[in-house]
Amino acid sequence: MLDNFDPHYLIILIFSVTVTFMMILDLGLLNRKSSKTTLKEALFWTCVWVFISLTYSAAVYYLGFPPIRTASGKMETNYIQFIDYLSAYIIELSLSVDNIFVMILIFNYFKTPEEYHKKVLFWGIISVILMRGIFIFIGEALIHHFHWILYGFGVFLIYTGIKMLVKKGEKEEVNIENNKLVKFMRRRFRMTADYEGDKFFVRRRGIIFITPLFLVLIVIESTDLVFALDSIPAVFTITENGYVAFTSNIFAVMGLRSMYFLLSSVMDKFKYLGVGLAFVLMFIGIKMLLEIVHIEIPVHYSLIVVVGIITTSILYSSFKPAKKRDKMNHINPVPETSHVE
């Protein structure tokens, strides 16, 4: 039986065991009770997830996923998968930083106690893993049957990058009060007036009520759907291999919670990261469109460009701090929700 075992699938087993073990460790052993996350804890777990993600890239290099034939007709090598994994991981991690700022606005808008953030982010990440898995493997199937979709992704990323550059010069607003999903939830479900500890649901006189914490979870999950519109096309313009796309995406997302607590107090220091991400999205979009005229940029050059742009934007943000954002001071208080009768 072992003689017929494909060693390429060993790396999939390593990924599954690693993610499952870390989730059980996180939920079952370390975070049974709601509590505030200290900066020291956030830094430690951020380093742990980055270490695991980079160590896994070494496994990709030495073991490799089941290879596919690329658009240029070449069969993937472990080296190509290794570079593609790193590129996709770095881009997704960088896009997650932008996502973190939106999460901060959502938590502040609903005045969510800090000790409950951890639980919301954990269950939010579980949903993200399921949604990203579905999107990525549907996307892979579509690309294998309709390869021209990749060029559509390229055009979309260029458009998105340009839009991000334009919007950086405008005042950003997150209008949660007029969010259609929020209005629907408040209209269709009975909701408690206040938080009920870290519970998502409570029973009163035999009737189930949702709590504001559940509404916060739903809003955060809905924002990930929006961010997926950038990250999923981006990862598929880097690699057509669903295994590479999924593992790099999930490792970046799994470290999002600890990164949230690490960066939530210093988000103003990353003012120009969005500009860097805009150029990265435009670069990989252009890279994909160049394949139409048979111009192929080597994968290691692409990785160098991506890392260079993101590093430059972070350094520029550090040496030239932008004016302090005043968004946090303009967030509306929690509106009244449906009271328990």
Q: Mean pLDDT over residues 153-165, rounded?
A: 83
Alpha-carbon gap, residue 303 to 316, rounded angstroms = 20
User: What is the pairing mode between strands 201-204 and 207-210?
Assistant: antiparallel
Looking at residue 72, its pLDDT comes to 58
pLDDT of residue 267: 64
The secondary structure of 210-244, three-state, reads ECHHHHHHHHHHHHHHHHHHHHHHHHHHHCCCHHH
Rounded CA-CA distance 16/6 in Å is: 16
Is the separation of the CB atoms in 25 and 52 below 8 Å? no
Q: Confirm if 140 and 240 have CB atoms less than 8 A apart.
A: yes
Query: Does residue 197 sit in helix, strand or coil?
Result: coil
- Of 58, 80, 76, which is closest to residue 67 (Cα–Cα)? 76
pLDDT for the residue 169:
46
Cα–Cα distance, 149 to 33 (Å, whole number) = 46
Mean pLDDT on 294-311: 82
pLDDT at residue 325 in the model: 44
Of 112, 231, 97, nearest to 160 by C-alpha is 231
Q: Is 60 exceeded by the pLDDT of residue 335?
A: no
Structure token pair of residue 182: 């929020």
- The pLDDT tens digits for 76-131 are 888 989 999 999 998 888 887 777 877 888 888 888 888 888 888 888 888 888 88
SS3 assignment, position 76: coil
- Read off the pLDDT of residues 4-18 as tens digits, 9 standing for 90 and up: 556 677 888 999 999
Predicted pLDDT at 321 = 56
CA pair distance 234, 160, nearest whole angstrom: 11
* Secondary structure percentages of the chain, helix, strand, coil, to 5: 70, 5, 25
Rounded Cα distance between 193 and 90, Å, is: 41
Does 61 score more than 80 pLDDT?
Answer: yes
**Structure tokens belonging to residue 67:** 């290879």
Contact 161, 281 (CB under 8 A): yes
Is pLDDT above 70 for 33? no
Top mean-pLDDT range of 1-10, 41-50, 152-161, 243-252: 243-252
Determine what percent of the chain is predicted with pLDDT higher than 70: 82
Query: What mean pLDDT comes out for the span 162-182?
Result: 67
What is the C-alpha separation between 62 and 45, in angstroms, rounded?
Answer: 26
User: Under DSSP, is residue 158 helix (H, G, I), strand (E, B) or coil?
Assistant: helix
Q: How far is CA 305 from CA 87, 284, 287, in A?
A: 10, 10, 11
- DSSP code of 172? -
Tokens representing 249 are 């995406």
Report for 120-129, 137-146, 239-248: range of highest mean pLDDT: 239-248
Asked whether residue 58 carries a pLDDT value surpassing 90, the answer given is: yes
